[in-house]
Structure 1
Amino acid sequence: MRMHAMALAVLLAGCAATVPPPPASSLRTPAAWRTAVEGQSSEPVAREWWQSFGDPALTALVAQALQNNGDLRVARARVAQYRALVGVAEAGQKANVIVDSAPTRTRQLAYNGVPYVTNVYQAEFQANYEVDVWGRLAALTDAAVATYQSEQANADAAALSIAATVASGYLNLRGLDAQLALTEATLKLREESRNLAQKQFEVGYSSRLEWLQAQAEYQTTAEQIPQLKRAIFEQENALSILSGGNPGPVARGVELEALQPPAVPAGLPSELLRRRPDIARAEYNLVAINANLRATRDQMLPSFKLTAVGGVQNLKWHDFVNAPTALWRLTGAVAAPVFEGDRIQHQTDAAAAQRDQAIYAYENAVRTAFSETDNSLGAIVRLKEQAVQNDARRATAAETLRIAHNRYRNGYASYLEELDAQRTLFAADVNRLQLRTRILTASVDLYRAMGGGWTGR
């Protein structure tokens, strides 16, 4: 008998659909990053890494965004939805009990035409339970759990993206503030130059052309101020919306010059596989699809169900409660598809193709993480090198302006030389502020690329 049972199990297992093998992995993890950065921190990436900039206003803005951002609240609601669906899947592995109570009161006519009233008290319960012999129900539960974990990782990825976007937006706002202050200060200098050129023209010391050139330069600088104010206005509104509020002003903290980029965190490429929530999401999606594939494959296998039905019925309430008529039935059912025109095999092939897509998506997510991190490291190094050259350029431009100004005041050169030197120095100053802002935002990009301290696994 035991041999017959084993033979039957092997025969039934052979009824499962055939699963194509997964594709071979083409992913190769590099041993190190292409760009080496000096002064890397040995500390792990802080979870609330934006606090490393030392700006309380930035910290408060990110905290507000993580609490109130609309997209993030939607992602968290999806997590709650899929958490509940795990419970639905787990309930499929438990018994299902239904109770049906139907007391009935009927007025009818007897054979002699006299009406009479009949009371019928009836209650029935039914219990169903499917024996998960092949693990199909367990596979569906595993798929639900992995999908829930994927949604949780997706919410973490959204939180990391929101924090990085808010931090970059705030740093860009401080850069615009610094450019506005620089332009307003430059406008005062242009006004002094214009007044000087006007006086020299009025006394006949210089030509009207030089005075008009000074006037034009003043107007050019003045034109940039409303442009910068508009950019600041729009940036404030964008940050307000990101933080879950209405369009409005944004509180400022530390000045751009005082903001220092945090130390570059150390880490190997292999560590990204555990730190990036988007990689975790792709991995959980693959787990869920593999579990669904197992469940789809086993649809051809027979299912074993136990059904128990019982009930009580009587015409009188007293007898119904105390001495009811008891009825019951116990059924064991085995059901299996015999012929479905290869439908289940085609469904299995489709699920296997989804598995292959998930494998490719996982590999793409890992490669993207490698690229983003390497690009961020390279950006920090190159921007710092550019800042060194910009400092030298600015020093040269400042000295050129000093000499040109003295030559002009003493009558040895035309105003055009001083005007050209002013433009060069102003361009160097603007570029210096933009470089400082880009170095700060590059640090944000690096922390985003390295997982931002996420420790979900």
Structure 2
Amino acid sequence: MRRAPLTTPLATGLVSALCVLALSGCLLGPNYSRPQLDVPATYRFPDNYAADIANTEWWKQFDDPVLDELITTALANNNDVKIAAARVDQFLGQFVTTRAALFPQVGAGFDAGRHRISTSSSPLFANVQSPVFNTYTASLSASWEIDLFGRNRRLTESARASLLSTEEAKRGTVLTLVSSVASSYINLRSLDRQLEIAKATTASRAESVHVFDLRFRGGEVSQMELAQSQSEYEASRAVIPQIEAQIAQQEDALSVLLGRNPGDILRGRALAELAAPAVPAGLPSDLLERRPDLRQAEQDLVAANAQIGAAKALYFPQISLTGLLGTQSGQFSKLFTGPSRVWSFAGSIAQPVFEGGAIV
């Protein structure tokens, strides 16, 4: 009796039924749900202005083009940001690879070989005219694991949450970098102002020492008063190298944030000329939900929750379908003729029985 080909209504209906079964299969494990919190429906203060401030590039409120350029440079060259971006690409690849298990895997192949069989090993081959022959095979194969118990879907859910977690980690790195560059620049301008004050104070005390020296020569002040004036001058003078060292250290730290070798930092507006960013009162509490560290923690929780279902699915059978369609012939010229056609269709069920504790 001839076997029915794959294109019969019976086979088509069987494949369709299996597809529907796989798509509507159960999902093991708990579904993630965010805990409900009892929060007020409205806020005590209007939050429109606060939302407008939060949605802007806040560092531009300082109105310093040099600071804006420094932050742009840091975002482009900082090594921590590059590492965070690379991790996003890494987890994106893992997500795509994990999700691929939900779809059929299709491949094509071509084999060619030359063989010789033993004519003395069995009477069946005793009358073979030539024990040497060629084989040519061209095939198109497909395999699909039916995700009946949701293991691949849970793994895909976990991989998607891990990807979102790394994206939030990148956002946190960017926010930390921007705030670090801005605060380092403000500290640098503050040190510059302190150096100006220290130099002005030293110059003023140098004039005071000159006046006390003239008065001491005229007999109007004692030597102790002159020495006290000289001591104050030396004390203010000693502060200048300390502030200059702090400025150099701050410039080096800021250069590292910018992703370049330590060196001088371009200055913009003076400290007194910087515009102070507005800090609105009554910030809404839902701004906390936009914190990257909190969003990252939640996505990590989603990923761990999905892994529970994937682990539970290991207790149940894995159902797979495989199929092959191609041609095979001993002569290459007859490889694509009608009689050389070959095909196969199979299904398998694998049920773990004893894994030595691998499935817990």
**What band does the TM-score fall into relative to the shorter chain?**
0.7 to 0.9
Alignment of 1:149-160 (within 5 A): 149-160=164-175
In structure 1, the residue matched to 2:123 is none
User: How much does 1:291 deviate?
Assistant: 1.2
Relative to structure 2, which stretch is displaced further, 178-187 or 44-53? 44-53
Correspondences of 1:418-457 after superposition (within 5 Å): none
Q: Whole-Å Cα distance in 2 between the matches of residues 116 and 303 of structure 1?
A: 42
Q: Assess if the C-alpha contact under 8 Å between 1:43 and 1:265 holds in 2.
A: no
Aligned mate of 2:260, from 230, 245, 268: 245
Give 3-state SS (helix, strand or coil) of 2:345's partner. Answer: strand
Q: Given residue 325 of structure 1, which amino acid in structure 2 is its aligned partner?
A: S
Displacement of 1:139 after TM fit?
A: 1.3
The structure 2 residue matched to 1:61, chosen from 49, 56, 70, is 70
> In 2, Cα distance between the equivalents of 1:186 and 1:28?
58
Where does the alignment leave 5 or more consecutive residues of structure 1 unmatched? Answer: 1-8, 347-457
Residues 312 and 325 in structure 1, CA contact (< 8 A), matched pair in contact too? yes
Alignment of 1:262-277 (within 5 A): 262-268=277-283, 270-277=285-292
Letter matched to residue 132 of structure 1: D
Question: Partner residue of 1:189?
Answer: 204
Deviation at 1:27, TM superposition (A): 8.0
Q: Assess, with a 3 A threshold, how the Cα gap between structure 1 residues 50 and 312 changes in structure 2: closer, same or farther.
A: same
Query: Distance between the aligned counterparts of 2:57 and 2:86, measured in 1?
Result: 23
- SS of the equivalent of 2:336 reads helix
Kept in 1, the 8 Å contact 2:50–2:283? The answer is: no
Closer, same or farther in 2 for the Cα pair 1:280/1:336, shift >3 Å?
Answer: same
Match in the other structure for 2:238 = 223
Of 167-176 and 269-278, the range deviating more from structure 2: 269-278
The aligned counterpart of 2:83 is 74
Aligned to 1:256, which of 256, 262, 271? 271
Residue 136 of structure 2: SS of its match in structure 1?
strand
- What is the CA-CA distance between 1:65 and the residue it aligns to? 0.6
The CA deviation at 1:233 is 0.9
Q: 2:217 aligns with which of 198, 202, 227?
A: 202
Alignment RMSD, CA only?
Answer: 3.3
- 2:187 aligned to which of 165, 168, 172: 172
- Cα deviation digits, residues 62-95 of structure 1 (max 9, x gap): 1111111110011011111111222111210111
In the TM superposition, 1:275-314 aligns within 5 A as 275-314=290-329
Do 2:327 and 2:336's aligned partners in 1 also have CA atoms closer than 8 Å?
Answer: no
Mark the CA change 1:137 to 1:110 in structure 2 (over 3 Å): closer, same or farther.
Answer: closer
1:263 aligned partner, one-letter code: A
More helix by share: 1
Shift of 1:157: 0.6
What is the rounded CA distance, in whole Å, between the counterparts of 2:283 and 2:198 in structure 1?
A: 43
Name the structure 1 match of 2:99.
90
**Could you list the runs of 4 or more consecutive aligned residues of structure 1 that deviate by over 6 angstroms after TM superposition?**
24-33, 107-111
2:343 is paired with a residue of what secondary structure? strand
Classify 1:41/1:280 alpha carbon distance in 2 versus 1 (closer, same or farther; 3 Å).
Answer: closer
Matched positions, count: 325
Q: Corresponding residue for 2:4?
A: none
Question: In the aligned structure 2, how far is the partner of 1:267 from the partner of 1:333?
Answer: 62
Q: Does the aligned pair in 2 maintain the 1:44–1:266 contact within 8 Å?
A: no
Tell me the residue number matched to 2:137.
122
Letter of the structure 1 residue corresponding to residue 60 of structure 2:
Q
Match of 2:330 in 1: 315
Which of the numbers 146, 159, 165 marks the counterpart of 1:131? 146
What's the offset of the Cα at 1:41?
5.4
Return the offset for 1:269.
5.3
Deviation at 1:323, TM superposition (A): 4.1
| Correspondence for 2:344 among 329, 332, 354 | 329
Length-normalised TM-score, structure 1: 0.64
SS of corresponding position for 1:120: strand
Letter in 2 for 1:94: F
What is the SS of the residue equivalent to 1:71?
helix
How far apart are residue 331 of structure 1 and its match?
A: 0.9
- Distance of aligned partners of 1:228 and 1:41 in 2 relative to their CA distance in 1, 3 Å threshold: same
The letter for the 2-side match of 1:135 is G
How far apart, CA to CA, are the structure 2 residues paired with 1:81 and 1:217? 61
Is 1:145 equivalent to 2:185 in the alignment? no
The amino acid that maps onto 1:201 is F
Which runs of no fewer than 5 residues in structure 2 stay unpaired? 1-20, 121-129
Measured in 2, the distance between the counterparts of 1:110 and 1:340 equals 45
**CA drift at 1:308:** 1.0
Q: Which residue of 1 aligns with 2:9?
A: none
CA distance 1:150–1:339, shift in 2 (3 Å): same
Distance 2:278 2:163 in 1: 35
Closer, same or farther: CA 127–25 of 1 in aligned 2, 3 Å: closer
